[in-house]
Amino acid sequence: MNERIVGPLIALPIMFALLIWLRRSGRAVKWDQQVRALIGVILSAPRWQHALIAIMIGVGAATLAFSFNWIQYYRLTTGGILVQGQVIAKEPTNHRLIRYSYVVHQTTYFGSQSGGYGNVDFNQIRIGDRVPVFYLPHEPKRSCLGNPADLLLNESMVIAFTAIFAPLFIFWTFRRAARRISRSV
């Protein structure tokens, strides 16, 4: 399955469930009223529902935000082919980006990636240096600079961190807002 659609496919049911919840509450029709109504419904829900909503939002956000790279790095780790590429440019003011080229079956491909995480550090690499590049055999334009297993591990840690701590933060925010509203009533 194309990695560009996997994240939205996972996040769509979560968002759809939230909208159904709002519709069933018989609340507003306009978008801004829907958002206000959704917030009101969320804040008036029991604590276990706050936790469930927080988990859904956190996991959905982590999936949407990071699944594209994770899928590509996984595919490169499990089925990528190693070739030698060459550094063609460095962009220190653009997230320390390294631009590289590599050749597959007499066709030159180009890629870009930040230094580190399985490849040479940005400060140590020079234009013209040879670098390891992994590409997908059935889709040679998909590549990464350096070891995709290191990139996959890094991406997995970010997803796990987001999936764990985003729900905790959201739950804490819901509870804090609910307490503030209950005190003002």
> How confident is the model over 59-97, as pLDDT tens digits?
776 666 666 788 899 999 999 999 999 999 999 999 899
Residues 6+ apart with CB under 8 A from 42: 49, 50, 53, 174
Q: Which fold has domain 82-147?
A: OB fold (Dihydrolipoamide Acetyltransferase, E2P) (2.40.50)
What's phi and psi for 138, nearest 5 deg?
-90, -5
Low-confidence ranges of the chain (pLDDT < 50): 1-8, 27-28
Euclidean distance between CA atoms 169 and 71, whole angstroms: 26
Per-residue pLDDT, 11: 53
In the chain, where the domains are located = 3-76+151-184, 82-147
Instruction: For residue range 118-131, list pLDDT tens digits in order.
Output: 677 889 999 999 99
Four-point Cα dihedral 22, 27, 29, 32, nearest 10:
-80
Euclidean distance between CA atoms 15 and 10, whole angstroms: 10
Residue the block writes with tokens 């994770």: 70
Euclidean distance between CA atoms 55 and 173, whole angstroms: 13
Contact 66, 74 (CB under 8 A): no
Euclidean distance between CA atoms 124 and 171, whole angstroms: 43
Euclidean distance between CA atoms 158 and 177, whole angstroms: 27
Q: What is the pTM of this model?
A: 0.65
Q: Which residues pair with 144 in a beta bridge?
A: 134
Dihedral sign computed on CA atoms, order 81, 135, 75, 70: positive
